Each structure stands twice: as structure tokens, then as C-alpha cells.
């Protein structure tokens, strides 16, 4: 599976080509969900180039995103060393089978290490984008209008994250291979043996990787932690600046998905799935960062509308996204969540 290369087009009115829409009206639309009027702009995930002001951050993030497609391809083709491991466990005294299993697992663990190290680079890229998209004096909505190439990269990170985690959740070989590797490392330390591969993934690195892969959705957990850390470290920046950036992205995605006039402007069929992934990703981040979450009545995200637009799509393309809302959000089961929303996600 390849990542689509969505880009933003400049801010445009769908109704006419007048001068730019009034920002006060735009803020009213996005904050109060005036659905009859609807947001009078379109973020085209298929085209954009960074402005001069965006270039430095864009180049930094792009260097990370260029590797994302390779990471996904390697994860999708990950088959594991299940056969070799079973034979080694069933024949513990057969040194040849032990060596065969170890030689099969080591390159796979090296690959898992690359995935983990990429998550650290992705975390830094997200931080750079959050700084750019929430910095004073502009409001988050103004940032999305002014720096659409950066907003597109933010969307691409979310798309990668949910795709990576879907692949990981459906591949038990990852956990099995890594567990075998760690058991073998422990056994070798007890027997005072040093194996060549241990220098690449030593015990300290193995511990960090173990925490990463123990998560059902490790990349999403990385982004959630990074966003929460960004908010806590930037005490002079109101938390609303970060959460409003997320809720605005969710609103834009939802409206584009549920409005035929917007959807008809997509030229790539994969952009629809891209838009759904981004919407779910920002909802989950919002739910982890905002004190009361995405499901409360006071939330700036129209959760009923978002869930409905997902359910209106073929289940084959949305079931994983609905499961992400069910199982990776923080506040779904809070008392403040309405029975209607819980019923929608049953």
C-alpha cells in the first residue's frame, strides 16, 4: 500500500471568486458548526507548495515523510520467523535449529528497530508542525489558511500513523519475533554469551522497543504523548490553541466528506480514505489532549457528524477507523459522553 501524496490548494470560496472570505465568519462557521451555511473554503489534499515562510519547517518534516512510504511497505511485507522459532522451541537441544532461528530473527528485529527509530523522528516532526501551526499572533484557523503546505504535512503524518498501526495490529508476528529475541538475549546474558546482533539492539534499546510494540497502536501513542508533552511544555501557549487546531482539521475533513460538491473535487480516489484517516487521527489527538475530550457536549468536534460520515462509507474501508475511535480514545466511556454517541459506536 502506498501513501497518497495529497496537497492543499490555496483557500478558495466555493460559491464565488470574490475577495477572501471574512475571517470572523470563518471562525463562526468552524466554532459553532453552522451547518446550513457550512465552511466556505476547501482544503484540497492533492496540491500545495510551501511558501517562503514555511520552507524551513517544510523541508525538515519532508525529510521524515519521504521515508514513510518505505516504512509502510516494509511493515506490510513483514512475514516473521514463526516457523524457525517454533522449531527452535520444540527442539531446545538442537543447536543448529537455535542458530537458524536466531539468524532469522535478527534481521527482523533490526527492521523493528528502524520502525521504532522512525517514530522518534516522526515525534520531532510533529512538534515542529505544532509549533508552526499554533504560534502567536495568529489563531489556529488563520494558520491553516496561511500555512496550508504545513497543514498538509500534518495530515500526512496522521495518515501514516493510522496506516502503520492498522498493519501492526493485524500482524502478531511482530510481537512473537521480538519476544523470542528478548528471551534469547536474557538467556545469553545468564550464560555470559555475547551475540553479534546484541550490539545493534542491546538490552536498553530492547526495553524501549518493548514498551513501543506493547501498545496496540504504537505510532498513535507516540503522537498522543508528543502532543500532550507539547502542551505541557508550552505553558504560555493556551491549550485551546492546540486543541482548536485539531478540532478545525476535524471539521474541515468532515464537511469535505459529507458534501458532494467538495468530494467531487477530489481527483484521486485514495484521497477519500486519506481524508477519513486524518479526521479520525485529529479526533483521537484532541481526545487525548483536551481536558474533557472529544465526546463531551462542550467539545468543538461534531462527533455525531464525524461518526455518521464514517458509517456512510463501505465498512471495509472504515471499520479499522471506527475501531480506533472505540479503543484508542481516552474519554469515550466518560459520563459526559452521550448515549447517542456510544450507541453509534456500538
240-298 per-position pLDDT tens digit: 888 888 998 898 889 888 888 888 888 887 888 888 999 999 999 999 889 899 999 88
pLDDT(311) > 50: yes
135-172 per-position pLDDT tens digit: 888 887 788 878 889 989 999 999 999 899 989 999 99
111-137 per-position pLDDT tens digit: 999 999 999 999 999 999 999 998 888
Residue 70 maps to a domain = yes
Residue 325 maps to a domain = yes
Same domain, 199 and 79: yes
Residue 166: which of 155, 158, 177 has the closest Cα? 158
Residue 214 maps to a domain = yes
Compute the Cα dihedral for 145, 152, 8, 255 and give only its sign: negative
As given in the structure block, the three cell numbers for residue 277 are 484517516
Residue 164 maps to a domain = no
φ/ψ (deg, to 5) at 247: -65, -35
Q: Look up the domain containing 262 and give its range.
A: 238-345
Same domain, 222 and 82: yes
The residue with greater pLDDT, 201 or 43, is: 201
Q: H or E stretch including 35?
A: none
User: Quick one: three-class SS letters along 303-323?
Assistant: HHHHHHHHHCCCHHHHHHHHH
Amino acid at each position: 500500500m502506498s501513501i497518497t501524496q495529497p496537497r492543499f490548494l490555496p483557500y478558495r470560496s466555493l460559491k464565488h471568486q470574490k475577495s477572501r472570505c471574512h475571517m470572523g465568519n470563518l471562525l463562526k462557521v468552524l466554532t459553532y458548526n453552522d451547518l446550513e451555511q457550512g465552511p466556505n473554503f476547501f482544503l484540497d489534499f492533492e496540491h500545495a507548495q510551501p511558501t517562503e515562510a514555511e520552507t524551513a519547517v517544510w523541508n525538515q518534516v519532508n525529510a521524515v515523510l519521504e521515508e514513510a512510504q518505505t516504512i509502510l511497505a516494509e511493515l506490510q511485507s513483514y512475514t516473521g520467523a514463526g516457523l524457525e522459532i517454533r522449531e527452535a522451541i520444540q527442539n531446545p537441544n538442537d543447536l543448529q535449529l537455535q542458530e537458524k532461528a536466531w539468524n532469522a530473527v535478527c534481521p527482523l528485529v533490526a527492521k523493528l528497530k528502524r520502525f521504532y527509530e522512525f517514530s522518534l523522528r516522526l515525534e520531532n516532526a510533529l512538534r515542529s508542525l505544532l509549533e508552526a501551526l499554533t504560534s502567536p499572533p495568529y489563531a489556529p484557523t488563520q494558520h491553516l489558511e496561511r500555512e496550508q503546505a504545513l497543514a498538509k504535512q500534518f495530515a500526512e503524518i496522521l495518515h501514516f500513523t493510522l496506516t502503520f498501526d492498522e498493519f501492526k495490529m493485524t500482524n502478531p508476528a511482530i510481537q512473537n519475533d521480538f519476544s523470542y529475541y528478548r528471551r534469547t538475549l536474557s538467556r545469553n546474558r545468564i550464560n555470559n554469551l555475547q551475540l553479534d546482533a546484541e550490539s545493534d539492539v542491546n538490552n536498553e534499546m530492547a526495553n524501549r522497543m518493548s514498551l513501543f510494540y506493547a501498545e496496540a497502536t504504537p505510532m498513535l501513542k507516540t503522537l498522543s504523548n508528543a502532543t500532550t508533552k507539547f502542551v505541557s511544555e508550552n505553558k504560555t501557549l493556551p491549550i485551546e490553541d492546540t486543541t482548536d487546531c485539531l478540532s478545525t482539521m476535524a471539521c474541515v475533513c468532515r464537511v469535505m466528506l459529507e458534501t458532494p460538491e467538495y468530494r467531487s473535487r477530489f481527483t484521486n480516489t485514495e484521497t477519500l480514505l486519506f481524508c477519513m484517516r486524518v479526521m479520525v487521527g485529529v479526533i483521537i489527538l484532541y481526545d487525548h489532549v483536551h481536558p474533557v475530550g472529544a465526546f463531551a457536549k462542550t467539545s468543538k468536534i461534531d462527533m455525531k457528524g464525524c461518526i455518521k460520515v464514517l458509517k456512510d462509507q463501505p465498512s471495509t474501508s472504515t471499520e479499522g477507523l471506527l475501531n480506533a475511535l472505540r479503543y484508542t480514545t481516552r474519554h469515550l466511556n466518560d459520563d459526559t459522553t452521550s448515549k447517542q454517541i456510544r450507541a453509534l459506536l456500538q
